[in-house]
């Protein structure tokens, strides 16, 4: 369940709360809220600054218990770093650290004055929205297959932010985006024996059933075979969990308006197929449906915010397994578009399910724009690491819109070239194209492959292989690029 958010207008020293949150910069500079607390409590914060117990280092936290003169039972002092370099990324960081610290305390509600901080280039609505999303991100706990921990201990459920009423739009957006991010994280974190193509279809149908203006259509492998989804179906041939094509429709705009479209890679587990992956780290291949989770989360956010536009979300979903009936290196597949593909590596399967889904989406919905998201290539992780998603598009205006949405939400992307110079790497002597382009520019040639199925479409591709999840045994889904996609839709609705 997402955190509940509200706005607070009272003075920090007068709020009767289990905890109030204020900030202190490096060099002992107190924010206005911290100064008010300090004045009411007889200089308690300044004394700790002077003793070195509060150093103002960005993200550091100090808890003051029951300070005299202050109505709150606790004051959480968060370090903000140097004031002269305080920016949007630091603002997000300190709010995440504050929420983490609150989550360790035995309380169910708190109030934060961090939203009064000056963040260059951003207004109060942005500050409230960013703080709320940071807090909800930190508060998320995966519990679907884990026994609840700390039973009986109060858990943070409500958080108030200091801001005027004009920041309410940020709070409303935060509620919707937070639900989308949680939807994406929970779906991606589920183990692959639960989160199968059929399970994703069930979750999509359940969401449609629970919301007006939303409908769901699911194509099974038999229907796709009749329609000619030769590329998608080949990927799922080796698994007992049969492929599904899931399409959600939201009618929030005028009946005559063309929809925007999201398409997300939904490989619920990727062994690599016959081109088998190495064993170490293969457990993380349950996250190979991160693109599907991300676009579904973006769809959920749009519905929850009630955006006045039409939106479709298409998820091609399959499991890539080795089997006697698996597709092989050397196979030639006929895609839904009619173009043939020589399979050189069965571990380059994401583009094979996406190409048919992109073709079907364009034919079925004639969308204004198509954005696809996929944990597509390890090459993108090498190029950009875990910080930025790779963005590719032949449409400069669309690329600019997505980059701007990423900057606004701090769910950032970086544009890579999609020049025709790279297309030669996909040439094949036995089909219209090969499914890989060799060792060099792997993320770009994957984008070039997809571009062959989007002729005439205003289309962009997001490679989220580095950003969709955190690695390691305790790593989990990040929910990216839900915030980016949601902001892009907010901008389109505003335009």
Instruction: Specify whether 218 is located in the same domain as 344.
Output: yes
* CA 107 from centroid of its chain's CA atoms: 28
pLDDT at 177 over 90: yes
Domain that holds residue 347: 177-493
Taking every pair of Cα atoms in the chain, the longest distance, rounded to a whole number of angstroms, is: 81
Question: Cα–Cα distance between 286 and 348 in angstroms, integer?
Answer: 16
Instruction: Specify whether 319 is located in the same domain as 414.
Output: yes
What are the backbone angles phi and psi of residue 199, rounded to the nearest 5°?
-65, -45
Instruction: Specify whether 47 is located in the same domain as 184.
Output: no
Instruction: Specify whether 120 is located in the same domain as 202.
Output: no
DSSP string spanning 330-378? T-EEE-TTS-EEE-S-TT--HHHHHHHHHHHHHHHH--S-EEEEE---H
Indicate which CATH number applies to the domain containing 291. Answer: 3.40.630.10
Residue identified by tokens 């839709």 is: 489
Sort strands 370-374 and 459-463 into parallel, antiparallel or unpaired.
Answer: parallel
Instruction: Specify whether 415 is located in the same domain as 475.
Output: yes
Indicate which CATH number applies to the domain containing 114. Answer: 3.40.220.10
CA distances 273 to 290, 344, 388, 445, 473, Å, are 19, 12, 28, 21, 23
**pLDDT above 90: percentage of residues in the chain:** 96
pLDDT tens sequence across 399-452: 999 999 999 999 999 999 999 999 999 999 999 999 999 999 999 999 999 999
Instruction: Specify whether 48 is located in the same domain as 194.
Output: no
Catalytic residue, chosen from 73, 277, 415, 458, is 277
Instruction: Answer yes or no: is 169 within a domain.
Output: no
Instruction: Specify whether 295 is located in the same domain as 394.
Output: yes
Whether 351 sits among the annotated catalytic residues: the reply is yes
pLDDT at 108 over 90: yes
Instruction: Answer yes or no: is 357 within a domain.
Output: yes
Instruction: Specify whether 398 is located in the same domain as 293.
Output: yes
Question: Cα–Cα distance between 486 and 466 in angstroms, integer?
Answer: 20
User: Is 288 annotated as a binding-site member?
Assistant: yes
Reading the block at residue 376, the tokens are 């597509």
Instruction: Give the residue from 50, 306, 363 showing the smallest Cα distance to 180.
Output: 306
pLDDT confidence of 154, banded at 50, 70, 90? confident
User: Is 304 annotated as a binding-site member?
Assistant: no
Q: Is the pTM of the predicted complex or chain greater than 0.85?
A: yes
pLDDT tens sequence across 274-296: 999 999 999 999 999 999 999 99
Whether 277 sits among the annotated catalytic residues: the reply is yes
Of 126, 161, 196, which marks where a domain is finished?
161
Question: Cα–Cα distance between 27 and 19 in angstroms, integer?
Answer: 24
Hey, which residues does 389 pair with through a beta bridge?
Answer: 413
Of 161, 192, 219, which marks where a domain is finished?
161
* C-beta of residue 46 within 8 angstroms of C-beta of residue 101: no
User: Is 347 annotated as a binding-site member?
Assistant: yes
Q: Please list, in sequence order, all residues whose beta carbon lies within 8 angstroms of the beta carbon of residue 473, skipping any fewer than 6 positions away.
A: none
Question: Cα–Cα distance between 277 and 348 in angstroms, integer?
Answer: 11
Q: Please give the pLDDT value at position 153.
A: 80
pLDDT at 158 over 90: yes
User: Is 150 annotated as a binding-site member?
Assistant: no
pLDDT at 147 over 90: no
Instruction: Specify whether 199 is located in the same domain as 70.
Output: no
Instruction: Specify whether 157 is located in the same domain as 183.
Output: no
Instruction: Specify whether 146 is located in the same domain as 266.
Output: no
H or E stretch at 249: strand 244-251
Q: Please give the pLDDT value at position 409.
A: 98
Number of structural domains the chain divides into: 2
Q: DSSP H helical segments within 193-253, as ranges?
A: 197-210, 221-227, 230-235
Instruction: Answer yes or no: is 168 within a domain.
Output: no
Q: What is the mean pLDDT of residues 63-73?
A: 95
Total count of residues recorded for the chain: 495
Instruction: Answer yes or no: is 170 within a domain.
Output: no
Instruction: Answer yes or no: is 166 within a domain.
Output: no
Instruction: Specify whether 297 is located in the same domain as 249.
Output: yes
Catalytic residue, chosen from 351, 412, 480, 492, is 351
Instruction: Answer yes or no: is 172 within a domain.
Output: no
């Amino acid at each position: 369940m997402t955190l509940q958010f509200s706005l607070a207008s009272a003075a920090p020293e007068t709020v009767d709360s289990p905890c109030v949150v204020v900030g202190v910069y490096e060099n002992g500079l107190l924010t206005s809220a911290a100064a008010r607390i300090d004045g009411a409590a007889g200089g308690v914060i300044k004394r700790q600054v002077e003793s070195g117990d509060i150093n103002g280092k960005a993200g550091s936290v100090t808890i003051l218990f029951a300070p005299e003169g202050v109505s709150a039972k606790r004051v959480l002092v968060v370090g903000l770093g140097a004031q002269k370099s305080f920016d949007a990324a630091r603002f997000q960081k300190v709010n995440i650290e504050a929420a983490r610290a609150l989550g360790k305390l035995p309380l169910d509600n708190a109030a934060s004055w961090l939203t009064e901080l000056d963040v260059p280039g951003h207004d109060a609505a942005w500050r409230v929205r960013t703080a709320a999303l940071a807090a909800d991100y930190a508060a998320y706990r995966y519990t679907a297959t884990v026994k609840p921990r700390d039973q009986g201990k109060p858990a943070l459920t409500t958080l108030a932010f200091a801001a005027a009423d004009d920041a309410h739009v940020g709070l409303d957006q935060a509620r919707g985006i937070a639900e989308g991010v949680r939807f994406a994280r929970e779906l991606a974190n589920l183990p692959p024996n639960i989160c199968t193509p059929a399970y994703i279809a069930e979750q999509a149908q359940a969401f449609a059933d629970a919301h007006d203006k939303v409908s769901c259509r699911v194509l099974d492998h038999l229907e796709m075979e009749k329609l000619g989804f030769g590329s998608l179906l080949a990927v799922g041939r080796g698994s007992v969990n049969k492929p599904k094509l899931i399409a959600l429709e939201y009618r929030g705009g005028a009946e005559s308006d063309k929809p925007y479209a999201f398409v997300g890679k939904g490989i619920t587990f990727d062994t690599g197929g016959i081109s088998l992956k190495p064993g170490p780290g293969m457990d993380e291949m349950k996250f190979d449906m991160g693109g599907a989770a991300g676009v579904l989360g973006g769809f959920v956010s749009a519905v929850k915010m009630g955006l006045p536009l039409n939106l479709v979300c298409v998820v091609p979903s399959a499991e890539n397994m080795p089997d006697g009936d698996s597709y092989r290196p050397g196979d030639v597949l006929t895609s839904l578009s009619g173009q043939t593909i020589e399979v050189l590596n069965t571990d380059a399967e994401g583009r094979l399910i996406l190409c048919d889904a992109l073709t079907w989406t364009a034919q079925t919905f004639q969308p204004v724009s198509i954005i696809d998201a996929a944990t597509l290539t390890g090459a993108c992780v090498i190029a950009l690491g875990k910080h930025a998603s790779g963005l590719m598009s032949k449409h400069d205006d669309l690329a600019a819109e997505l980059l701007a949405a990423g900057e606004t939400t701090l769910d950032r992307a970086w544009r890579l070239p999609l020049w025709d110079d790279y297309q030669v790497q996909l040439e094949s002597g036995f089909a219209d194209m090969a499914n890989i382009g060799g060792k060099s520019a792997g993320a770009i040639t994957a984008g070039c492959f997809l571009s062959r199925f989007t002729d005439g479409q205003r289309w962009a591709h997001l490679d989220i292989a580095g950003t969709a999840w955190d690695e390691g045994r305790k790593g989990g889904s990040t929910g990216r690029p839900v915030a980016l996609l949601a902001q892009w839709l907010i901008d389109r609705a505003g335009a």
